[in-house]
Amino acid sequence: METKLKTAVLGATGYSGFELTRILLRHPGVEKPVLLRRGVEGNGSGHGASHFHVEQPVNLADMFPVISGNGSYPLQPFSWELLKEQGVELLFLATPHEVSRALVPEAMANGLRVVDLSGAWRLRNAEHRAIYKFHDDDAELAEKLTGQAVYGLPELHGEKIAKAKLVANPGCYATSVILALAPLVKAGVIDRQKGIISDSKSGVSGAGKEPTPKTHFVSVADNLSAYAVFGHRHLGEILEQLELNSGELIFTPHLLPIPRGILSTVYVHLNREMKAAEVESLFRESYAGKRWVRVFATPKLPEIQFSVNSNFCDLGFVLAKDGRRLVIVSCIDNLGKGAAGQAVQNMNVMYGWNEQEGLQ
């Protein structure tokens, strides 16, 4: 890492973007990132969300005093010219889905590699992608980029990520559920006709920084609520990555009255009787050498407090006495392995670095 990588972050003022910025600032292979901000879209530009009128730069430390006292962190006006002048090679987009959808084609045209933290490029299936209601100016180009985008789950797609120009960082819920189920699906031991249930719960930061009536303190505190039942955006990711059909999985997200963390409890029926040691072996063999997945020996189960503020995905399970019913518990930090940490892990894979760099 003698020559440090030059990166830029668009969206550093959001929860995931700020977490990402903090990780990049301590990463040994990365120069201090260029921090970018969006303003009001310019009138008459003809280029959609990629051109903005921006007021005077602000210091990120004024918005997040936790990083104050260590220099200035100006948020500069976004422009492709600035990225070129600064020698930026990798652009992180921590932006709304529709903004990433508009910016990525131009980023590719400007020769940048991109890690996109939004859902803009995660989904191959148009039916799944319809939930975002994208309106592409160039549908043919968008379809081409969709085919080129690599789903950024290093434990499953490391070789493709290493060569990728565009990495679509997975959703937080999707990460927790996919990693819980992938070894079992690959081994073909799930009785898919009996269905899979994922009961998932997330801290409030997973809903983003913009407050809504459901995420205000009065609504969240001392409460637990289900939402987006049969209609959550991450469902399509889970189905596509595990090659399941919609009738084989019920996924229900819930909002926890905590700032961050996800716990997914996944219920499956097995198509043959198994021993706990055999199930544990499946998980351990699948994730052997995968630094950021920890498999707990049964019957110990993960808890949110074990993985919060880290890039770990913790997996544990309990097998019923009949050997045919299995409960898996998967825990991640939604801002870590579910967003910013995984984005940096993807960067490490893209540039041939140890996946631990900057994340320990």
Residue 82 DSSP symbol: H
Q: How far apart are CA 154 and CA 349, in angstroms?
A: 8
Q: How far apart are CA 32 and CA 22, in angstroms?
A: 10
Q: How far apart are CA 11 and CA 93, in angstroms?
A: 7
pLDDT, averaged across the chain: 93
The per-residue pLDDT for range 229-275, each reduced to its tens digit, is 999 999 999 999 999 999 999 999 999 999 999 999 999 999 999 99
Phi, psi of 219 (to 5 degrees): -80, -30
* Structural domains of the chain ordered from first start: 7-148 (3.40.50.720), 172-334 (3.30.360.10)
Exactly one of 142, 153, 156, 172 is catalytic; which is it?
172
- Three-class DSSP category at 321: coil
Q: How far apart are CA 236 and CA 178, in angstroms?
A: 11
DSSP 13-25: TSHHHHHHHHHHH
The per-residue pLDDT for range 32-67, each reduced to its tens digit, is 999 999 863 333 333 333 344 445 558 999 999 999
The per-residue pLDDT for range 290-325, each reduced to its tens digit, is 999 999 999 999 999 999 999 999 999 999 999 999
Q: How far apart are CA 31 and CA 356, in angstroms?
A: 17
pTM of the predicted structure, to 2 decimals: 0.93
Give the pLDDT confidence score for residue 297 in this predicted structure. Answer: 96
Residue 331: active-site member: no
- Three-class DSSP category at 274: coil
CA nearest to 343, candidates 218, 208, 161, 204: 161
pLDDT band, very low/low/confident/very high, at 342 (cuts 50, 70, 90): very high
Give the pLDDT confidence score for residue 214 in this predicted structure. Answer: 85
